[in-house]
């Protein structure tokens, strides 16, 4: 406890007036902004995950406690069952402070930090430390999450050769007819003549042996080449399928070619359940559709606009997969290659595994429900990503503009760094399960984190003083690398194990709130009516304050350390005795200056 006595009076007398050295009638304006700090009421609400048994420790900062270990606490409280896991605390901020950090430590000792803007036109800051999805958002998410096939392919029954099929090896110099079946049932080195026709395919050649095509050969419109089980085609040149002509390879069939070219056969220019090996380039002309449920290997695939690839098994490329405009890719199997490039409005849907050395996507829509990986680098400019339990991994990632929708436990996993270029990339976390962005380093500006999203990062770009170089909203939060509780499970397994924490317990009471910031209080005797306005009648520097808080969020003990920087002689002698106070609340005082100090204490608490 403490008390003060004025040298001239025992009690404060508000009627007492001293002569005004500035002249009668001189007074400070009524609307003068004398306060160099502002007070905000911070309302915090926590989502309990421990059945109401334990309290959550909440600390409010003006600096990021994840990057600054010496950040000073503005306020400390606990959220528990008794207060419905919500409370309101008053904090003092500089008028220039644009945002605050709220750190939650859960009963298992796991820390997560949220960022909130400081409103200019309100004294209230609402801080919900969780994500709440609206019904409209949930319906939109569910509609995006429904997987539908763009095309359906049924395997034809080519287990036997029609009895009316004629042997190609016996037709030297004869043109194959329309509406007829042909066969190659013994090894054959050569070609045949077929003039082609419009309309649906009605001429079929069944290959049930080894057929060697000695040079470049064109299959004219209206014919289907069927490679049956255990059969093989070896083409030393280019196999070209004109217009609606088709190549069908059954399970144990095999085709080897230097190059192969497809046009617009229906339902697909290529239907593969076996093996297609291309030494150089496979070309898809405009209108072509490729369906694969076997294995395709090629150095490159050259794709024109208005084409489709549906892969249900494996495609392996030595070179580049370049996606043109109006192109559609649906991968339900595995695709591997050196480069994946898109500079157009192509649409790709991945439901299994895609892995390339580098990936560069511009103005592309990419739907990912499984695993996408770039082993060297990943770049996206103006692209739209829709992840549903999807996973993207690369050493380095760069995002320019564009939108990344991460739904129901999706993840961006950069093992080295993520760079958000100067444009406006947006990352949305949606759905019941939290999604994750994980990288040791994240740099850049102009981006937004929004929704059910955790950012695991040890070295994240700091907020600018204007608090506008990036934005965090609607429940997104930060942790150190490896410290978030979020488990990420995708179709290829567990990608983030999550921090299980310790056995749950309450915080250790009393909680000591240690504010090491310096506060300066300047007093002018009888302000604002009288005085010389030099603001040095009493100048106090508050260097340290410690508050002990009990489980009911009540202050039990207050320790204050101050320096007296200036004072009138009669005030200096008394103030020097109070250089360090330990106050057990409540504090009672009656003298004028004691009333000032009591008010000071209340503002600091």
Q: What is the DSSP string of 548-596?
A: EE-TTS-EEEEEEEEEEEEE-HHHHHHHHTTSEEEEESSP---SHHHHH
What are φ and ψ of residue 355, in 5° steps?
A: -140, 125
Phi-psi region of 312 (alpha: psi -120 to 50; beta: other; left: phi over 0): alpha
Burial environment of residue 497 by CB neighbours within 10 A (0 to 12, 13 to 18, 19 or more): exposed
What the block records as the tokens of 290 is 């490729």
- pLDDT at position 576, please? 53
From CA 555, how far away is CA 224, in angstroms rounded?
86
Helix, strand, or coil here: 602? helix
Give 441's strand partners.
459
HSE on the CB side for 557, CA within 13 Å? Answer: 10
Rg of the chain on CA atoms, in Å: 37
Query: Are 447 and 469 within 8 A, CB to CB?
Result: no
Tokens describing residue 8: 């001239």
User: Residues in the chain with pLDDT < 50?
Assistant: 1-3, 5, 135-136, 139-147, 577, 580-581, 583-596, 599
State the pLDDT at residue 535.
Answer: 63
Q: Which of 68, 58, 66 is nearest to 102 (CA)?
A: 58
Q: What is the pLDDT of residue 108?
A: 98
DSSP 393-447: EEEEEEEES-EEEEESS-EEEEEEEEEE-SS--EEEEESSSPEEEE-SEEEESSE
Q: What is the pTM of this model?
A: 0.86
Structure tokens at 523: 């007093």
What is the distance of C-alpha 591 from the center of its chain? 58
pLDDT of residue 532: 57
CATH class (in words) of the domain with range 38-135: mainly beta
pLDDT tens digits, 537-555: 778 788 778 889 999 999 8
Which helix (H) or strand (E) covers residue 110, if one does?
A: none
Q: What's the number of CA atoms in the CB half-sphere (13 Å) around residue 99?
A: 21
Report pLDDT digits (tens) over 437-451: 999 999 999 999 999
Domain with CATH 2.60.40.10 in the chain: 38-135
Helix (H) or strand (E) holding 604, with range, is helix 592-604
Residue with tokens 């896991």: 85
Provide the pLDDT for residue 587: 40
Q: What is the DSSP letter of 469?
A: S
Alpha carbon distance 194, 548 (integer Å): 94
The pLDDT assigned to 205 comes to 98
């Amino acid at each position: 406890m403490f008390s003060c006595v004025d040298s001239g009076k025992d009690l404060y007398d508000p009627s007492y007036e001293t002569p005004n050295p500035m002249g009668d009638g001189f007074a400070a304006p009524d609307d003068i902004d004398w306060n160099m700090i502002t007070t905000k009421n911070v309302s915090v609400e926590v989502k309990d995950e421990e059945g109401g048994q334990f309290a959550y420790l909440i600390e409010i900062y003006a600096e990021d406690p994840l990057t600054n270990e010496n950040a000073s606490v503005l306020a400390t409280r606990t959220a528990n069952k008794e207060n419905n896991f919500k409370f309101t605390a008053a904090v003092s901020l500089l008028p220039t402070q644009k945002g605050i950090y709220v750190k939650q430590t859960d009963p298992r000792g796991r820390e997560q930090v949220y960022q909130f803007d400081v409103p200019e036109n309100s004294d209230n800051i609402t801080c919900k430390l969780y994500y709440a999805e609206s019904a409209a958002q949930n319906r939109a998410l569910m509609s995006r999450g429904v997987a539908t096939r763009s095309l359906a392919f049924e395997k034809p029954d080519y287990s036997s050769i029609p009895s009316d099929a004629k042997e190609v090896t016996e037709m030297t110099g004869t043109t194959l007819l329309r509406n007829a079946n042909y066969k190659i049932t013994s090894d054959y080195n050569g070609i045949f003549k077929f003039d082609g026709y419009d309309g649906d395919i009605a001429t079929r050649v069944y290959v049930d042996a080894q057929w060697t095509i000695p040079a470049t050969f064109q299959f004219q419109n209206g014919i289907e080449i069927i490679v049956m089980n255990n059969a093989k085609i070896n083409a030393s040149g280019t196999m070209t399928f004109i217009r609606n002509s088709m190549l069908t390879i059954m399970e144990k069939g095999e085709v080897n070619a230097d190059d192969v070219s497809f046009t617009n056969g229906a339902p697909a220019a290529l239907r593969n359940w076996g093996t297609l090996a291309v030494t150089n380039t496979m070309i898809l002309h405009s209108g072509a559709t490729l369906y694969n449920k076997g294995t395709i290997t090629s150095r490159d695939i050259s794709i024109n606009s208005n084409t489709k690839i549906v892969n249900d098994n494996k495609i392996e490329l030595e070179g580049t997969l370049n996606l043109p405009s109006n192109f559609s890719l649906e991968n339900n199997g595995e695709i591997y290659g050196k480069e994946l490039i898109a500079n157009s409005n192509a649409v790709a849907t991945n439901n299994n595994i895609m892995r390339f050395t580098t990936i560069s996507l511009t103005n592309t829509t990419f739907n990912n429900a499984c695993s996408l990986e770039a082993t060297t680098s990943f770049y996206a400019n103006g692209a739209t990503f829709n992840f549903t339990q999807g996973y993207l991994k690369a050493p380095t990632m760069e995002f320019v503009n564009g939108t990344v929708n991460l739904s129901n436990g999706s993840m961006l996993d950069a093992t080295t760094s993520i760079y958000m270029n100067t444009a406006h990339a947006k990352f949305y976390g949606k759905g019941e399960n939290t999604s994750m962005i994980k990288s040791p380093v994240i740099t850049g500006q102009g981006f937004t984190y929004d929704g059910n999203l955790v950012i695991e990062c040890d070295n994240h770009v700091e907020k600018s003083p204007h608090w506008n170089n990036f934005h965090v909203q609607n429940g997104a939060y930060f942790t150190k690398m490896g410290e978030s509780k979020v488990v990420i499970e995708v179709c290829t397994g567990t990608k983030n194990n999550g921090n299980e924490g310790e056995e749950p317990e309450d915080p250790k009471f009393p909680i000591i709130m240690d504010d090491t910031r310096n506060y300066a209080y300047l007093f002018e005797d009888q302000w604002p009516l009288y005085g010389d306005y030099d603001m040095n009648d009493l100048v106090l520097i508050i260097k340290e304050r410690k508050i002990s808080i009990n489980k009911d969020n009540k202050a039990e003990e207050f320790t204050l350390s101050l320096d007296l920087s200036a004072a009138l002689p009669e005030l200096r002698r008394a103030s020097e005795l109070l250089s360090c106070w330990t106050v057990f609340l409540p504090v009672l005082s009656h003298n004028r200056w004691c009333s000032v100090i009591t008010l000071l204490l209340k503002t600091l608490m």
